[in-house]
Amino acid sequence: MNIEISDLIKIITKNFRYFCYVFVVSALIIIPLALFMQNKYTSSASFSLSNSTGELDLPSSANRLASFAGLNLSNSNVGISSDEFIGIMTSHTFLSNFIEEHDLTITILAADIYDEENDKITIDQDIYDSENSMWKKKIRGKVPSTFDAVEELKDDMLYISYDEFTGIISLSVTSISPTFSHELLEKLVRDIDTYVRNIQENEANRAKEFLNEEVSKTSNVAFQSNFSKLIEENLKTIVLSNTKDYFLVDYIEKPVLPKYKSAPTRSLIVIGFVFFSLFITYLYCFYIYVNNNGAFLNSYLKNK
């Protein structure tokens, strides 16, 4: 049987009442569900990394000795690369320590609703019994742990992007509480900056001690000059780590307390679900029309 545009329109006109039923029922189903969806709030920040690098010509013997000591003196660095930064921030090691230090496991895994009046997240007692400090719901048959909180944070709450052209890193945190999202993002940036600060300061102190020893051992003026420059660079790192508010992060936009929700878009959810229901209904009517020339469905609706 050949199907023309008039046939497609006829399917709608002949079964208009049926489409109305589906429209009303689907709307009655999805609207309450959409209203019960919790609002989510996203706090965002953007920044670049404060890095300075340089290369100095050192004797190979000094480089070999430094490598044995776990140091790289040929490349003088203050800071880390963007790839290293993102790698550290998304690593289980860093995030596990971060979550444990700020006691976030329960809030991340057992958050129930956001109490807007008191500006706090209430805990789902079916997941975690706050009174008895006991987990009631298991994840994959095991008691929830920091590992699960890290996975939840990485999969559903934390978003990182990097623009290679501008060197800008964008970071955002999404949760059911605007205050929690904002505070979590601030703590995250602060902690990773402190983490890198401590690593760089420790390396600079070790390098300075090594270089001071090497300066006292050599009588070569050129070598002494290069060693002195490296000592100066490491002193610069130590000074910066103790004087700058942020050692690594140069904020372009600081974390903002979100005023409006970022999700869900309830109108799109309702419209999308209703149109999807109507589309499925149309396919069903089309199938009936093709196989029975519309007779079966029309007679069914007339009897109704």
Give the CA dihedral 194, 197, 202, 206, nearest 10 degrees: 180
Cβ atoms 233, 78 nearer than 8 A: yes
Q: In whole angstroms, give the CA distance from residue 112 to residue 14.
A: 47
Give the integer Cα–Cα distance in Å for 52 and 240.
Answer: 12
CA dist., res. 168 & res. 163, Å (int): 5
pLDDT 10s digits, 280-300: 887 777 777 777 664 544 554
Q: Which two tokens stand for residue 243?
A: 């004087």
70 class by beta-carbon count within 10 Å (0-12 exposed, 13-18 middle, 19+ buried):
exposed
Task: Provide mean pLDDT across the span 13-24.
Answer: 79
- Residue 123 per-residue DSSP state: E
Q: Which two tokens stand for residue 265?
A: 């878009």
Which one-letter amino acid corresponds to residue 25? V
Predicted structure pTM score: 0.69
Question: Within a 10 A sphere around the Cβ of 110, how many other Cβ atoms?
Answer: 22
Q: Is 143 in contact with 135 (CB distance < 8 Å)? A: yes
The pLDDT tens digits for 158-212 are 999 999 888 899 999 999 999 999 999 999 999 998 888 888 777 767 766 666 6
- The model's pLDDT over 40-98, given as tens digits with 9 standing for 90+, comes to 999 999 998 876 444 444 444 444 444 444 445 444 455 678 888 889 899 999 999 99
